[in-house]
Structure 1
Amino acid sequence: MKSKLLAFILVLSLVANAYLLLFEQAPVEGEQIQEMQAQINSLERENKRLETQVTQNNQSLQSYASQLDFYRERVFELENNLQACPAGMQGFATLQAPAVFQNVELERSGPFVREVVSEEGALLNISVETRAGKGRVLVQTTPLMGVIFQDAANTAVFVAQQETGVSLSGSDVIFSITADQEIPGVDGSSAGALMTLLTISAINGTELNDSVTLTGTIDDEGNIGAIGGVFEKATAAEAGGKTLFLLPRENSELVIYNIVERKVGGFTVVERVPEVVDAEEYIEEEVDIDIQYVDTIEDVLRWM
């Protein structure tokens, strides 16, 4: 009877242990799995955060590397400029430039007085001097010029530096403009190409052919643009002893006016009829000066 009781108790103990193992330990293992899964999720989030941080750091490094390259190039450029433009750099060049000014006269006809405006050409003496300074562009003129002339001077200096590869940041560039005769003040950018030529000559130390002159605007890329008063300027250039006149190609067509008379009833009507002619052919025939067209400052340098 005891043996049966002991066997029953043993079986009951085994059943109880099995129950505890199967049902009581399961929640513990489930909690451990959940905890481990939470840790895995946390590690994955941390991994993503670190990956993002690494990407940002790489981008920052690339940015710093680009900035470093930029500053290295800037230092190299400044060093070259200092070598190309030593302190105390001096230069000088001069040339005559044709200009046009308006002449206003009063004409009396009976009790009436009217203004008659005509355009005349004249030669200006333009010179440039470079000396050690602070990179300024200075203009002194007699007669006085306007702000457009100052702007043309600034552009001329810029283009001359681009053309020669020499920086004038350590030099002052001084333009002087005078006239042999007393003329009214003139303004405009038509001397821009000539001032560019003068500045290049002053930098390189080359002499210019004073039997040649030119007219034309200049832009930042060295292109030479159209101007006004072509015929009057050519006439002034020829009167001043010039044999070659460089003209912007944009001025290759010249408008002249022919006087035409016709009868209307008992009256004679006088008209000025415009005609477009080739500037080179017309000026060479009428003024007797050689004309050559130019497009850029490089063209001017080839002729000079």
Structure 2
Amino acid sequence: MGKGQSGVLRFRQVSLLALLMLIPVAAATLTVPAVDSNMKGVLVELTCELVPGQGRVLVTTEPYIGVSTQESERTALAVVKASEGSEDFEGKDVLFIFSAEGTASIDGGSAGAAMAVCLLAELRNQSLSPGVSMTGGVDMLGRVVQVGGVLPKAGAVADFARVFLIPAGQQRSLTYTKTFTTPREGIYIEEVTPLEINIPEYAAATWNLTVVEVASVDEAYLWFTGAWVDAREVLQFELPEFTRELTGVEALAEKALKRAESLVGSANDTLSSSYLEQAKNIPAGYPYTQANLAFLAAVTSQTSWDDVEPVARELLKQMKSLEPGDPYWRAEAELRLSWALFKEQNLMAQKDWLIIAANMLTLETFTNESVDMAKVARLANQQIVEAKQVVEESRMVAGQEPSADAALDLALESLEDELYFAALYNALDAMAWAEASKGASQDYLKSMFEQEKQTDFAEAYRRHAIYLLNQAGGDREVIKGALFSAYRADLRDEIFEELDRLPWSPEWGALDWKWLAILGLGVYVARDLVTKNRKGATARKTSATAEQDMVLLAEAKGKAVAFLQEKLRNGEITREAYIRLVRKLEGL
């Protein structure tokens, strides 16, 4: 790879795990719940050790354990050997130590997944978080299987744990309530009524305990080792205020909010109104968050529209005809255009991505420098190759992440259409999603608050991550979205350090009135399509007039730019004067 890429873009290859394996730690220990004969939750301390021996599985226990628990021990060992290899177990015995109070015996397979986690930690010489507990069996494929007594077990761990892991599909529990009536003396009627309980909601409200479903031992291990965290415990914070203005991103958010207000006002839709209200209440300094919510409000408010792919293709054609005047904005615009063209989504979202891409292009300002697009193309190819590897490695640890796979597909399609910035950014997004699916250390989360990003868009993504963490509570999907935005911010800043700056020198044939017209038409097309369906002939006439005005203004701008080009070629004005006057034309 090229200069700087091995350290910057080979995303955090020196893992925390590799460093921790150099430091001796005590035998792996965790606390798991069980239930007694009365279905009351009790706590069991589980310790795992590898000791010199003959390859045996040994157990020491207080109280006694049953046959099912012994079977789980051997299954857990088989899962770990399949994951890590058998070499580390040669000449060693595996020792499981159970210690419990308040029950005479332990039986059942509900500690199977915890035993596998415990044994992995012992093998990797890594500590387990004392604030995490779990219940769940394990099968030979490393999947966490369902068990009984989840609700009383949650109550048992609530005194010490902040996160309780349960098998996938068991967040709802059926319990029963009893009522007694005495219609007359000597007669008693007992009525049993089934009651379904949402365990995560109940645990959060009753014990302030975060309950999370997990599907595999690998996924559970991430929680126990601190890669997945409960943001309420790790980051107790109020939203920080920011003094640095992100002018361009703020302008984009303002456009998005105005568009959402115009659409939601006539839609009378509860969901879109909710998104719009949230967007309006986003505090200053978080423009990307506001723009994102405004986008959701706009998309959910729309019911029908026509095909805009021809307009997107025309926008793509014109985009290729002019080298970037501002590579940061051009890259973000290309990314959204690729989503409009290639992303599998509902048609309303596709249309709005087109509008956002057009808005971003109108905000692009021509400066004295551009970038080497040949270098962007090479970087895009390199990052796609690297993203494939990162996504595959992540899949082995944390399972499949659909968002990472989708971003990788978008990168390939963008590359085929020679949208090199979009190919590059989609590849980086695939890497960010892959990393986010594995979680993050507490130190990384805290570093987000201290390391301001260089470019405005990267800084906007960082702030969005902070906002999501503030809102996340124990919601894993929100935490993952926050981590994605944080990793995305890192990669955005880092990739531009790899790009060589060049003097900006437009091709004279490219700045014609069609180029300027398409920017306006891209903004107006979807609005017109919506008004065709909503407001009838009067609205269509009004929109058509607006389009005509936009085309005429764009044509006038194009002629003015051509006039300035002629003056520059003849040496009648300087290059600086030319750029200054073009900027003024952009503001018309």
Q: Are the equivalent residues in 2 in contact too, given 1:252–1:279 (CA < 8 A)?
A: yes
Q: Are the equivalent residues in 1 in contact too, given 2:42–2:102 (CA < 8 A)?
A: no
Tell me the amino acid that sits aligned with residue 147 of structure 1.
V
The answer for the alignment partner of 2:93 in structure 1 is 172
Structure 1 residues 77-96: aligned runs within 5 Å: 92-96=27-31
Tell me the amino acid that sits aligned with residue 131 of structure 2.
S
Deviations 1:17-46 (Å, cap 9, x if unpaired)?
xxxxxxxxxxxxxxxxxxxxxxxxxxxxxx
Tell me which stretches of 4 or more aligned residues in structure 1 moved more than 6 Å. none
Q: Are the equivalent residues in 2 in contact too, given 1:225–1:250 (CA < 8 A)?
A: no
Structure 1 residues 87-236: aligned runs within 5 Å: 92-102=27-37, 118-167=38-87, 168-179=89-100, 181-236=101-156
Name the CA distance, whole Å, in 1 between partners of 2:124 and 2:150: 30
Q: Are the equivalent residues in 2 in contact too, given 1:133–1:171 (CA < 8 A)?
A: yes
CA radius of gyration, larger in: 1
Deviations 1:171-215 (Å, cap 9, x if unpaired)?
110001012x34211211100000000100010000000110101
TM-score by length of 1: 0.61
TM-score by length of 2: 0.32
Instruction: Give aligned pairs, total.
Output: 198
Structure 1 residues 247-258: aligned runs within 5 Å: 247-258=166-177
Name the CA distance, whole Å, in 2 between partners of 1:165 and 1:253: 36
Cα shift at 1:297: 0.8
**Unpaired segments ≥5 residues, structure 1:** 1-89, 103-117
Deviations 1:102-157 (Å, cap 9, x if unpaired)?
2xxxxxxxxxxxxxxx3211111110110222111111111011111111001111
Tell me the amino acid that sits aligned with residue 75 of structure 2.
T
Q: Are the equivalent residues in 2 in contact too, given 1:91–1:203 (CA < 8 A)?
A: no
Name the CA distance, whole Å, in 1 between partners of 2:155 and 2:214: 19
**Unpaired segments ≥5 residues, structure 2:** 1-24, 225-588
Name the CA distance, whole Å, in 2 between partners of 1:124 and 1:277: 25
1:259 aligns with 2:178: yes
**Secondary structure of the structure 1 residue equivalent to 2:32:** strand
Identical-pair percentage: 29
Tell me the amino acid that sits aligned with residue 183 of structure 1.
T
Larger relative contact order (C-alpha < 8 A, sep ≥ 6)?
1
Name the CA distance, whole Å, in 2 between partners of 1:133 and 1:268: 63
Name the CA distance, whole Å, in 2 between partners of 1:92 and 1:193: 17
**Secondary structure of the structure 2 residue equivalent to 1:203:** helix
The structure with the largest strand share of the pair is 1
